[in-house]
Structure 1
Amino acid sequence: MFKPSFHRSFAGNLKKFHSFSLARSVYQQPSFDINDSNSSDLKNDKKIVEIRRKTISDIYNIYHKKEPITVLTAHDFITGKFADLAKTDIVLVGDSLGMVSLGYPSTNELPFEEFLYHVKSVSRGVRQSFLIADLPFGTYETSIEKAVESSIQLVKNGANAVKLEGGVEYLDTIKKLSSIGIPVVGHIGLTPQRHNSLGGFKAQGKNVNNALEIFKNALCLQKTGAKLLLLECIPQKLAKYITENVSIPTIGIGAGNHTSAQVIVQSDLLGMHGVNSLPKFVKPYENFLEKGVSAIKKYNHDVKTRAYPETGIHTFTIKNSVYLDFLEIAEKIKTYPLKDLQSFDLDVN
């Protein structure tokens, strides 16, 4: 990979590489327009707009305005950056990445160490959106202590809140996490980590008892301290009723248009795996699979026909005198045995 040589002509290259930071990534810099003639006046604080992540208070401000809240999943730096640049209110690092990004048959097989790696990666791409991370299967069920330990690891890797699946059985866990300052997002309805006991990925709340159980869980989670509530694959009327009868934002996925927020898996939204066989509730906005494969085919064709890279456009030059000096020596050493090549002094100047 080509790397600019800073050691020889840093001053000369400074303007050329103005967006490159030796110390910090561009995503960690205060945001101001480098092309703005006024932005060079660093003494004028009004000209510098500091970029910061949304907080739970910001999310509640949107909620109290009755403005729909946007939520999108992300699984790495670039998908986190996509969501953040689009000004998505909340980014969710869901354990669904185990299936859509890592190819596991189910979310339950995703190791926590791998998940943490992705949380950290997404976090580096998100600088404005509120960042929620799932508690994957096996990271919170066995004890409150286990849940606290796992949640602390998620926060240390960039999460602003954690999400767990389940209801009344985790009230003490939610209470403990809230008491140590970690915002908790509840998740009821279809809980994918329990798909084995639910008989698959099926809509929930379609009979009286199940609907009442979901509503009971919603009330209990709110009263215990959950800050948000994700409702997955439940009837629209039930989701609307729950939303109207709790005082915390609800996030719907397959739950109709009356929840406080909507979430979708980014790879579904963008059609990264194509647009066929998507869940009923998904509206694909792009077909990345089709466009990506098409672009790669064009690249393969251009390489095979030597149309890429194109001389003068994608190539670097060397002075003719330098190249002639190189050839003079190269022609001599190309027949050297290995031991002579190893001892050859490259400092020919």
Structure 2
Amino acid sequence: MTTLSTLKKFKREGTKFTCLTCYDAMFARMMDKAKIDTILIGDSLGMVVQGHDSTLPVSVADMAYHTANVARSNKHALILADLPFMSYVTLPEAIANSRQLMQAGAHVIKIEGGSELCDLVSTLAQAGTPTCVHLGLTPQSVNVFGGYKVQGRSDDSADKLLSDAKAVVAAGAALLVLECVPAELAKAVTKAVAVPVIGIGAGADTDGQVLVMHDMLGMVYGRVPRFVHDFLTDERNTEHSIDGAFALYQQSVVEGSFPMQQHQFD
């Protein structure tokens, strides 16, 4: 089974690894078969499963329910689970809500923010709860950003993101996620920290890659994000199946054929 030690070994050796969002037992079984390295029970379920316009309405109970569904069928992947919007404003509620997700089957708790999370990261680490800190475009802050926009393009914002990454790792973060940041900045962050870094719209030089499962299966209505590739209809998916799409994604990330130049931001 994939563990944090496995991912650290991958980083040391330069081996790329995969992550996909998952919300139920059946898809978890299929990802297990494809040997997807890590699974994220993302608050993206608010949009792709529940039909909301953003991730903000998702509750801790929602996250625990879907985490348990995935955990029952998972044998191979490291499981990350999102703490949803406003569920970790204070330390006591963050601890209680993290406990709920870990007891549901998560191995790592994912939170969004920067250096302001250091106390929480440290507290959870001391309590035996690893964290993954999500930097860059953080969907829970969509109203602060004024929409879904690339982050870290100015010198000041790039410096802050790099500083935040170093701070949360020093506080004890076990993993980082970088979303929608320029590829060169993502490369610099990945080199600057000792923990594995997972990218989405962050170029090819992060240690791992994550996509929303529905996106990589072509289940996108409206504008397709730049960093998405449809692995279901890819001609290399000779099975023309979801199983084949997951296996092709795993293969493409590990061999370095995904993401490509067209999937990144400059």
TM-score interval, smaller chain: 0.7 to 0.9
Residue 188 of structure 1 is matched in structure 2 by: 135
Structure 2 length as normaliser, TM-score? 0.85
Residue 166 of structure 1 is matched in structure 2 by: 113
- CA distance in 1 between partners of 2:220 and 2:133 (Å): 28
Residue 86 of structure 2 is matched in structure 1 by: 138
Give 1:269 shift. Answer: 0.6
Alignment of 1:232-247 (within 5 A): 232-247=179-194
Alignment partner of 1:279 is 2:238:
no
Give 1:127 shift. Answer: 1.1
Give 1:254 shift. Answer: 0.3
Residue 50 of structure 1 is matched in structure 2 by: none
Residue 100 of structure 1 is matched in structure 2 by: 48
Do the aligned residues in 1 keep the contact of 2:22 with 2:70 (CA within 8 Å)?
yes
Give 1:56 shift. Answer: 1.2
Alignment of 1:199-348 (within 5 A): 199-273=146-220, 277-286=223-232
Alignment partner of 1:117 is 2:65:
yes
Residues 42-69 of structure 1, C-alpha deviations (whole Å, 9 max, x = no match): xxxxxxxxxxx32211221222211001
Alignment of 1:14-163 (within 5 A): 53-141=1-89, 143-163=90-110
Give 1:113 shift. Answer: 1.2
Residues 72-108 of structure 1, C-alpha deviations (whole Å, 9 max, x = no match): 1101112222222110111111100110111112100
- CA distance in 2 between partners of 1:158 and 1:105 (Å): 27
Partner AA of 1:130 in structure 2: L
Instruction: Spell out structure 1 runs of 4+ moving beyond 3 A.
Output: none
Structure 1 length as normaliser, TM-score? 0.65
Structure 1's unaligned 5+ residue stretches are 1-52, 293-349
Secondary structure of 1:194's aligned partner: helix
Give 1:198 shift. Answer: 0.3
- CA distance in 2 between partners of 1:108 and 1:193 (Å): 6
Residue 258 of structure 2 is matched in structure 1 by: none
Residue 197 of structure 1 is matched in structure 2 by: 144
- CA distance in 2 between partners of 1:191 and 1:272 (Å): 22
Secondary structure of 2:185's aligned partner: helix
Instruction: Please identify the structure whose Cα radius of gyration is greater.
Output: 1
Do the aligned residues in 1 keep the contact of 2:24 with 2:70 (CA within 8 Å)?
yes
Give 1:244 shift. Answer: 1.1
Residue 255 of structure 2 is matched in structure 1 by: none
Give 1:277 shift. Answer: 2.1
Give 1:272 shift. Answer: 2.8
- CA distance in 1 between partners of 2:184 and 2:207 (Å): 14
Do the aligned residues in 1 keep the contact of 2:124 with 2:130 (CA within 8 Å)?
yes
Partner AA of 2:232 in structure 1: E
- CA distance in 2 between partners of 1:86 and 1:247 (Å): 28
- CA distance in 1 between partners of 2:24 and 2:191 (Å): 34
Partner AA of 1:281 in structure 2: F
Residue 251 of structure 2 is matched in structure 1 by: none
- CA distance in 1 between partners of 2:72 and 2:13 (Å): 29
Partner AA of 1:280 in structure 2: R
Residue 260 of structure 2 is matched in structure 1 by: none
Partner AA of 1:55 in structure 2: T
Count residues with an aligned counterpart.
Answer: 236
Secondary structure of 2:7's aligned partner: helix
Partner AA of 1:282 in structure 2: V
Secondary structure of 2:176's aligned partner: strand
Give 1:193 shift. Answer: 0.1
Give 1:273 shift. Answer: 3.9
Partner AA of 2:169 in structure 1: Q
Secondary structure of 1:159's aligned partner: coil
Secondary structure of 1:109's aligned partner: coil
